[in-house]
């Protein structure tokens, strides 16, 4: 309501000549974040708001529980940061505030159909903003989002048919079949832009300006994961079949690896940065696939980290080299003590802890992590932006986001205790001693992990050179080394695509597939054509 | 099946044939009039329908004499396929109406209704002349009215009267194309 | 006398508007008032006491609600027509169509529908246009013949073959009456909007289809239902594919618009053919959105389509593209939920086919939205209204479905 009202206020004020869009939208973002914290944290009890009937048999109900609170944070933290530090006109600020409201409602929705409504609404509003700014990447963004959205709508409709409800917490265990889960998975992967090939979340970085694309990534990225987490709750704490966990785990590793490979072969720093979120998405997906309490906790922690990263990436200043740039690049790919390190470490730990084949998948993910370090080392020497793009960013905004990211590592124990573990407990049973978070450590079955003890000294070590050091020489002037692994996959990919595009119906058969000739025959009302059609149908229906 | 009914069916077929085989106003009007007369004769068990549909058909036929190409225009060169169509349609409708369909109404009534539908549709789908298209639509409308009278559906009288009125309205529409204007 | 008044008032309005053509203000006022009175009577027919009829007519809730929407669409289109448009002609044609559609809705059986379709289609084909009368009458003429055949076959005997053939005839008559594939009429891009086949498919078609289905479906016997359902679904998928691919690949923008109507109709036919409440509700919503959103937008796109204004792609056009693509929160949301739900109930692979069609749908929506140009003045108000209607159908479809007794 705060965000919606802000959008209206911004537009009315703007129409009246009062340009207060950006501060008002920023204030609304922070106020919404504060409101959701105030609503949830003191009481930590379930709250529901019932709305009107959407379609026959589906009512709009909003639900604030531990899961929706965690994901609301994933939406609102980057949104508030971006609305505060990115430059937007009053029209764009109003639209952005409204979009944040829609994305927030998507993760507060209690059923698949309601989520799909608000998710689709956010995607539509973002499309308008993206197209108003520039065409580039919308041709990837829109089909992916609509395909994902349709898959989710179908899944919701099918659940409704099979069990009489598509409400996450009311779906009977037997209703969630493997086929339905695959639909949800497809929706999540397409919508969140977590795919083994270059997804829309990376493509939007090719746009000349980042202020809309980055908002799209920040807002839509968590929603797909929200549905996947809820799928655990809808199916009694597990996905419909163990092989689905294995499939998703393998896919997740593939995503993390391909993302890291693309990142280390990037030609500009933006290209490198564009792979940060898909890579983290792969880690989050792997943790979710593990399916243990530690795994889901790690996934939520990774998503919270990804939310901060989504805000930090577009705020990194691109115009001039800052002395913090190499350090920030290292922190982004998971150097300690940042939250990116802590979250990734927890994911790998959850995989190894699960045993069996999961350990191998965790190791493969760790390999992707290592590759991204190579990518970060190289990215420091890459030009900041490519041709036809405008340098952007905000030093102050990047500073705030980086501090949050840095603080996230040492505070991981607290975060696990306050946000991640309650969300996990909402969807699966947490065995005693499986995972816990204290003020100084993360406790798992494999042992305690002293986040504060490890993180705080490192944090001091990181901040010291920043505060007192001299500015480094401009690294981008030095030519970047070749990629560790050259992108051999690009050429065959292009060749296959060209071959597909070159496919034609042979000349002698073209008349058989000529819709225009058929249409002309229809339009002229050839009685013979219609008589043959009627006869053929009459025979067909009586066979 | 009485001789009068058979004669009525033949007259209706002749009307349909004239409609299909004529390209000018007199031939078309005669076709419509003959069909209406035949239809009215087979509908003698439903006098209201017979009078309404027969009368409307005759009025429609008279109205068709107002415009369109002058003369009879019957059996112009290249009419052989149309002639064949009339013969085949006559034989087929007679067979289907009397031997295959068990209802509605009497066999002559069914055959006459089928003739109106088949020959009217055949003419409408193959002609490029507006007056012929209007007349064949009117013939189909009369056949529909007769079908309603024979099935005795709810509010049959209203539908029969509507069909009669429709046939007259189709006769009122001009038989020449108007110019394009507007957006 | 309610049904008679609902039918007669717009008819008188049409005659009055046509007669006073030379004095546009008076024609618009007179015709408009009579049309409004007709719409009020239609609305009052919801009260059982108002339904008594001298001629034994009755207007069921579903076609009545769609008729009300037709009246609303007509009012919006006449009030907010582009400056070059012949508003009196539009009103006269629309009111005549309203009267015809009221007659179709009040028709007691399929034969009565055939009579009204014959007269209504002839009236429409007689409007000055680019194609000759016989060409424009072919598809509706065939519909009349098929309705006649269907009705005769329904009374032909007890053998299942008659029921199946009757179902076949009636389904094909519906498709032919609406002017869909495989009975697609020829299109002349320069043709005036009221006389074009797009107006027939977009304005007259929806209420006609719902009225026809209301009369046709209860009379189809148990043997005919499988034929009825499968044929409607098959033709629906054919129209969906033809429409989406056609709108994407068409050479001209007018043709693209026409194909987009086919795509909508494809969804509607599939919804009707599934013979489950969700499918029917989806079809009802699709047809309502054709009436209230797609057809008015087509009218407002005419200046660009006729090269009298430049095409444009502003934020409003993008929003329109999303609405035309069926994205949330517009009408497409509720339609897609209901259709996919119905398809899952009936035969799940159908949902996959529909999903693919809905995805290909995206390809043409931007192309169509461009043709709205940069809406200003009356067109801008119209575009906002169309978006508002679409939003209403997407977020509160239950209101319309309740109005239609669904």
Contacts of C341 in chain A (CB under 8 A): 157-158, 160-161
Average pLDDT over residues C31-52: 89
**pLDDT: which is higher, A520 or A463:** A520
Tell me: the pLDDT tens digits for A258-296?
Answer: 999 999 999 888 999 999 999 999 999 999 999 999 999
Closest C-alpha to B144, from A444, C116, C9? C116
Tell me: the pLDDT tens digits for C86-113?
Answer: 889 889 999 999 999 999 999 889 999 9
Question: Helices B107-126 and B80-95 meet at what angle, rounded to 10?
Answer: 150
pLDDT band at A497, cuts 50/70/90?
confident
The pLDDT value recorded for residue C366 is 93
Average pLDDT over residues C43-65: 85
CA of C405: how far to CAs of C220, C282, C284, C401, in Å? 21, 14, 11, 6
Compare CB distances from A154 to C167, C242, C340 and report the shortest one's residue.
Answer: C340
Task: Judge: C246–A515 Cβ closer than 8 Å, yes or no.
Answer: yes
pLDDT band at C130, cuts 50/70/90?
confident
Q: How far is B20 from chain A (nearest CA, A)?
A: 14
Task: Judge: C358–A150 Cβ closer than 8 Å, yes or no.
Answer: yes
Residue of A523, A524, A525, A527 to mutate for B, most B C-beta atoms under 10 A: A527
Contacts of C306 in chain B (CB under 8 A): 183
**Is pLDDT of B154 > 80?**
no
* Cα R_g (chain A), whole angstroms: 25
Contacts of A124 in chain C (CB under 8 A): 319, 322, 327-330
**Is pLDDT of B70 > 50?**
yes
Question: CA A339, A342, A346, A349: dihedral to nearest 10 degrees?
Answer: 160
Q: Is the minimum CB–CB distance between A523 and chain B shorter than 8 Å?
A: no
Per-residue b or e along A453-482, where b marks 16 or more CB atoms closer than 10 Å to that residue's CB: ebbbebbeebeeeeeeeeeeeeebeeebee
Tokens of C155: 């009374």
Mean pLDDT of chain C: 92
Helix (H) or strand (E) holding A153: helix A138-163
Task: Judge: C359–A533 Cβ closer than 8 Å, yes or no.
Answer: no
Distance from C-alpha of A340 to C-alpha of C137, rounded to nearest angstrom: 70
Contact call for residues C108 and B83 (beta carbons, < 8 A): no
Subunits close to A (at least 3 CB pairs below 8 A) = B, C
Residue of B89, B117, B124, B125 to mutate for A, most A C-beta atoms under 10 A: B125
Contacts of B122 in chain A (CB under 8 A): 527
Q: Which range is least confidently modeled, A293-302, A513-522, C277-286?
A: A513-522
Q: How far is B152 from chain A (nearest CA, A)?
A: 27
Compare CB distances from C184 to A55, A161, A523 and report the shortest one's residue.
Answer: A523
Q: What percent of chain A is predicted at pLDDT more than 70?
A: 91
Could you give the maximum distance between any two Cα atoms of chain A, in Å? 90
Shortest CA distance from B128: residue in chain A: A524
Contact call for residues C128 and C195 (beta carbons, < 8 A): yes
Tell me: the pLDDT tens digits for A502-532?
Answer: 888 787 777 766 777 777 777 766 677 888 8
Residue with tokens 């500009």: A268
Task: Judge: B182–C89 Cβ closer than 8 Å, yes or no.
Answer: yes
Cα(first)–Cα(last) distance of chain B, in Å?
56
Distance from C-alpha of A428 to C-alpha of B16, rounded to nearest angstrom: 78
Strands A447-449 and A442-444: antiparallel
Quickly list DSSP for A203-246. HGGGSS--TTHHHHHHHHHHHHHHHHHHHHHHTTTS-S-HHHHH
Residue with tokens 């929506």: C365
The pLDDT value recorded for residue A504 is 81
Compare CB distances from B159 to C115, C141, C149 and report the shortest one's residue.
Answer: C115
Q: Which of A244-248, A350-354, C377-381 tops mean pLDDT?
A: A244-248
Distance from C-alpha of C278 to C-alpha of C337, rounded to nearest angstrom: 9
Q: How far is C75 from chain B (nearest CA, A)?
A: 17
Tell me: the pLDDT tens digits for A199-224?
Answer: 999 999 999 988 999 999 999 999 99
Q: How far is A254 from chain C (nearest CA, A)?
A: 26
The pLDDT value recorded for residue A6 is 77
**pLDDT: which is higher, C23 or A438:** C23
Closest C-alpha to A275, from A258, A263, A257? A263
Tokens of A125: 């509003």
Q: Phi and psi dihedrals of C328, rounded to 5?
A: -70, 150
Distance from C-alpha of B54 to C-alpha of B38, rounded to nearest angstrom: 8
Contact call for residues C239 and C262 (beta carbons, < 8 A): yes
Mean pLDDT of chain A: 87
Neighbours of A143 (CB within 10 A): 16
Task: Judge: A150–C181 Cβ closer than 8 Å, yes or no.
Answer: no
pLDDT band at C125, cuts 50/70/90?
very high
3-state secondary structure of A365: helix
**Is pLDDT of A98 > 90?**
yes
Subunits close to C (at least 3 CB pairs below 8 A) = A, B
Distance from C-alpha of A333 to C-alpha of A38, rounded to nearest angstrom: 32
**pLDDT: which is higher, A121 or A91:** A121
Q: Is the minimum CB–CB distance between A482 and chain B shorter than 8 Å?
A: no
Shortest CA distance from A152: residue in chain C: C337
**Is pLDDT of A181 > 60?**
yes
Residue of C24, C82, C110, C141 to mutate for B, most B C-beta atoms under 10 A: C141
pLDDT band at B182, cuts 50/70/90?
very low
Contact call for residues A256 and A283 (beta carbons, < 8 A): yes
The pLDDT value recorded for residue B181 is 45
Distance from C-alpha of A33 to C-alpha of A307, rounded to nearest angstrom: 13
Distance from C-alpha of A156 to C-alpha of A57, rounded to nearest angstrom: 12
CA of B38: how far to CAs of A442, B13, B139, B164, in Å? 97, 8, 12, 15
Q: Is the minimum CB–CB distance between B132 and chain C shorter than 8 Å?
A: yes
Q: Which range is least confidently modeled, A37-51, A382-396, C324-338?
A: A382-396
Contact call for residues C175 and C140 (beta carbons, < 8 A): no
Q: How far is C7 from chain B (nearest CA, A)?
A: 13
Compare CB distances from C84 to B114, B147, B183 and report the shortest one's residue.
Answer: B183
Q: Is this prediction's pTM over 0.95? A: no
Q: What percent of chain C is predicted at pLDDT more than 70?
A: 100
Whether residue B104 has a cis bond before it, omega within 30° of 0: yes
Mean pLDDT of chain B: 92
pLDDT band at C371, cuts 50/70/90?
very high
Backbone torsion region of residue A17, taken as left when φ is above 0, otherwise alpha when ψ lies between -120 and 50, otherwise beta:
left
Q: How far is C22 from chain B (nearest CA, A)?
A: 14
Contacts of A527 in chain B (CB under 8 A): 122, 125-126
Beta-strand ranges (E) seen in C283-367 are: none
Task: Judge: A530–B125 Cβ closer than 8 Å, yes or no.
Answer: yes
């Amino acid at each position: 309501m705060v965000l919606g009202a802000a959008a209206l206020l911004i537009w009315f004020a703007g129409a009246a000549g009062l340009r207060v869009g950006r501060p008002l939208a920023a204030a609304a973002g922070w106020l919404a974040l504060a409101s959701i914290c105030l609503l949830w944290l003191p009481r930590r009890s379930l709250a529901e708001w019932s709305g009107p009937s959407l379609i026959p048999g589906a009512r709009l109900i909003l639900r604030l529980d531990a899961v929706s609170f965690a994901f609301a944070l994933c939406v609102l933290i980057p949104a508030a940061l971006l609305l505060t530090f990115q430059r937007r006109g009053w029209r764009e600020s109003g639209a952005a505030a409204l979009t944040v409201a829609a994305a927030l409602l998507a993760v507060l929705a209690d059923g698949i159909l309601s989520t799909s409504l608000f998710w689709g609404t956010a995607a539509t509003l973002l499309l308008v903003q993206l197209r108003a700014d520039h065409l580039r990447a919308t041709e990837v963004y829109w089909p992916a989002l609509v395909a994902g959205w349709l898959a989710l709508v179908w899944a919701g409709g099918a659940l409704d048919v099979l069990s009489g409800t598509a409400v996450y917490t009311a779906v009977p265990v037997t209703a969630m079949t493997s086929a339905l889960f695959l639909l949800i998975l497809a929706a999540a992967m397409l919508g969140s832009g977590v795919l083994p090939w270059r997804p829309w979340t990376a493509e939007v970085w090719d746009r000349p300006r980042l202020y809309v694309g980055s908002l799209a990534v920040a807002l839509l990225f968590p929603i797909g994961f929200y549905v996947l987490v809820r799928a655990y709750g809808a199916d009694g704490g597990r996905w419909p079949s163990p092989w689905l966990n294995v499939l998703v785990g393998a896919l997740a590793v593939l995503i993390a690896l391909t993302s890291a490979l693309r990142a280390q072969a990037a030609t500009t720093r933006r290209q490198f940065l564009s792979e940060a979120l898909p890579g983290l998405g792969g880690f989050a997906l792997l943790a979710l696939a593990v399916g243990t309490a530690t795994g889901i906790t790690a996934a939520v922690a990774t998503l919270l980290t990804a939310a901060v990263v989504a805000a930090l990436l577009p705020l990194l200043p691109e115009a001039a080299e800052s002395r913090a740039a190499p350090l920030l690049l290292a922190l982004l790919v998971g150097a300690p003590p940042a939250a990116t390190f802590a979250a990734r470490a927890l994911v790998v730990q959850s995989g190894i802890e699960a045993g069996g084949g999961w350990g191998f998948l965790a190791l493969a993910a760790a390999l992707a992590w290592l590759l991204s370090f190579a990518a970060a080392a190289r990215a420091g020497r890459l030009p900041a932006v490519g041709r036809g793009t405008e340098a952007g960013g905000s030093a102050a905004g990047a500073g705030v986001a980086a501090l949050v990211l840095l603080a996230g590592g040492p505070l991981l124990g607290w975060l696990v205790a306050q946000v991640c573990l309650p969300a996990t407990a909402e969807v699966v049973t947490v065995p005693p001693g499986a995972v816990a978070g204290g003020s100084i450590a993360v406790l798992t079955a494999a042992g305690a992990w002293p986040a504060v003890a490890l993180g705080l000294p490192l944090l001091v070590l990181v901040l010291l050179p920043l505060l007192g050091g001299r500015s480094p020489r401009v690294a981008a002037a030095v030519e970047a080394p070749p990629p560790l692994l050259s992108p051999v996959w690009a050429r065959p990919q292009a060749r296959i695509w060209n071959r597909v595009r070159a496919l034609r119906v042979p000349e002698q058969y073209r008349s058989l597939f000529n819709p225009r000739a058929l249409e002309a025959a229809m339009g002229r009302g050839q009685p013979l054509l219609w008589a043959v059609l009627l006869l053929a149908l009459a025979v067909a229906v009586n066979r | 099946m009485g001789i009068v009914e058979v004669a009525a069916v033949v007259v209706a077929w002749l009307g349909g044939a004239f409609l299909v085989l004529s390209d000018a106003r007199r031939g078309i009007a005669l076709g419509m009039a003959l069909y209406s007369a035949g239809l009215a004769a087979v509908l003698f068990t439903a006098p209201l329908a017979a009078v309404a549909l027969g009368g409307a058909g005759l009025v429609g036929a008279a109205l068709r004499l107002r415009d369109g190409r002058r003369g009879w225009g019957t059996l112009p060169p290249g009419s052989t396929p149309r002639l064949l169509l009339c013969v085949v349609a006559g034989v087929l409708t007679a067979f289907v109406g009397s031997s295959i369909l068990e209802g509605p109404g009497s066999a002559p009534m069914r055959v006459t209704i089928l003739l109106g539908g088949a020959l009217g549709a055949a003419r409408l789908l193959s002609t490029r002349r507006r007056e012929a298209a209007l007349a064949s639509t009117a013939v189909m409308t009369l056949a529909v009215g007769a079908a309603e009278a024979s099935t005795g559906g709810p509010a049959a009288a209203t539908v029969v009267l509507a069909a009669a009125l429709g046939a007259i309205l189709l006769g009122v529409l001009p038989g020449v194309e108007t110019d394009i204007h507007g957006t | 006398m309610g049904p008679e008044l609902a039918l007669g008032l717009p008819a008188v309005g049409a005659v009055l508007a046509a007669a006073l053509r030379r004095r546009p203000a008076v024609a618009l006022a007179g015709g408009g008032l009579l049309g409004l009175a007709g719409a009020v009577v239609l609305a009052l027919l919801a009260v059982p006491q108002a339904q008594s009829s001298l001629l034994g007519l009755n207007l069921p809730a579903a076609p009545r609600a769609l008729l009300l929407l037709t009246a609303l669409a007509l009012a919006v289109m006449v009030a907010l027509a582009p400056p070059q448009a012949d508003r009196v002609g539009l009103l006269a044609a629309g009111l005549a169509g309203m009267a015809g559609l009221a007659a179709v809705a009040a028709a007691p059986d399929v034969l009565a529908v055939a009579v009204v379709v014959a007269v209504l289609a002839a009236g429409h084909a007689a409007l000055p246009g680019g194609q000759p009368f016989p060409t424009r009458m072919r598809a509706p003429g065939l519909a009349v013949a098929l309705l006649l055949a269907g009705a005769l076959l329904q009374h032909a005997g007890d053998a299942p073959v008659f029921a199946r053939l009757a179902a076949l005839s009636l389904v094909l008559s519906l498709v032919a009456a609406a002017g869909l594939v495989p009975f697609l009429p020829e299109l002349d891009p320069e043709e005036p909007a009221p006389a074009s086949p797009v107006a027939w498919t977009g304005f007259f078609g929806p209420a006609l289809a719902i009225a026809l289905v209301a009369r046709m479906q209860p009379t189809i016997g148990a043997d005919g239902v499988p034929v009825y359902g499968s044929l409607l679904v098959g033709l629906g998928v054919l129209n969906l594919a033809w429409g989406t691919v056609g709108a994407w690949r068409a050479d001209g923008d007018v043709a693209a618009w026409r194909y987009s109507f086919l795509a909508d109709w494809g969804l509607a036919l599939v919804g009707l053919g599934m013979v489950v409440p969700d499918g029917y509700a989806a079809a009802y919503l699709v047809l309502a959105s054709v009436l209230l959103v797609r057809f008015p937008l087509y009218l407002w796109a005419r200046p660009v389509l006729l090269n009298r204004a430049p095409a444009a792609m502003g934020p409003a056009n993008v929003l329109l593209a999303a609405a035309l693509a069926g994205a949330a929160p517009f009408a497409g949301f509720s339609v897609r939920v209901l259709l996919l739900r119905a398809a899952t109930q009936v035969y799940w692979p159908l949902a996959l086919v529909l999903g693919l069609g809905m995805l290909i749908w995206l390809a043409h929506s931007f192309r169509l939205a461009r043709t709205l140009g940069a809406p200003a003045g009356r067109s801008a108000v119209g575009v906002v209204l169309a978006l508002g209607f679409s939003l209403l159908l997407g977020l509160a479809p239950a209101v319309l479905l309740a109005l239609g007794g669904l």
